[in-house]
Amino acid sequence: MSEENSNIEPCKNPDGRYRDIVVFGCGNILFGDDGFGPCVADYLQNCIELPENVSVINVGTSVREILFDFILSPQKPKKIIVIDAVDAKRKPGEVFNLNVDEFPLNKIEDFTLHEMPTSNLLKELKEFCNVDVIIIAAQVDHIPEAVSPGLSEALTESVAVAAEEVLKSCA
């Protein structure tokens, strides 16, 4: 495995080809509700029987590096699903889809999907690499300023809901 492509190796089948669908659980489990994406990824890996063409990875806060590797790679998955917690001023725990095409260019830096340029990379994968990009988000209740692991009750209850949304998106 070459060092430059080591980030994307878990997304591949044993034959070295990418799985059709790659699911990324994004977030920092040390900061409360920000750990939603990794919790959903763990739930999917441990509690759900996934189709063989789906790979689920808890990427923590390193999604940008992996997306960049995908852009540079000659082979890409057909679909990328990103799971993350955001503050979109909705009801805490609400699970919803975000459309990467709807990010206003002047608002990209205000968006909280682990600090854009992630949205730029997702847009590039969709527009120039023909990868279907789906973002499944949950409204945070609270993200602490200091280390405080564990999801709020609202987001804990939303983990299974988000996992179901992922499964629907894989169909």
DSSP the chain: --GGGGGGGGGB-TTSPBPSEEEEEES-TTBGGGGHHHHHHHHHHHHS---TTEEEEEEET-HHHHHHHHHHSSS--SEEEEEEEE--SS-TT-EEEE-GGG--GGGGGG-TTTTTTHHHHHHHHHHHH--EEEEEEEE-S---SS-B-S--HHHHHHHHHHHHHHHHHH-
Residue 6: what pLDDT?
A: 53
If one compares 160 and 10, the residue with the highest pLDDT of the two is 160
The domain covering 3-7+25-170 belongs, at the CATH homologous superfamily level, to: HybD-like (3.40.50.1450)
pLDDT band at 20 (very low <50, low <70, confident <90, very high): very high
Domain ranges of the chain: 3-7+25-170
What is the average per-residue pLDDT within 70-83?
Answer: 91
101 pLDDT exceeds 90?
no
Q: What is the pTM of this model?
A: 0.85
109 pLDDT exceeds 80?
no
Residue 64: what pLDDT?
A: 86
Residue 81: what pLDDT?
A: 96
**To the nearest whole number, what is the mean pLDDT of the chain?**
85
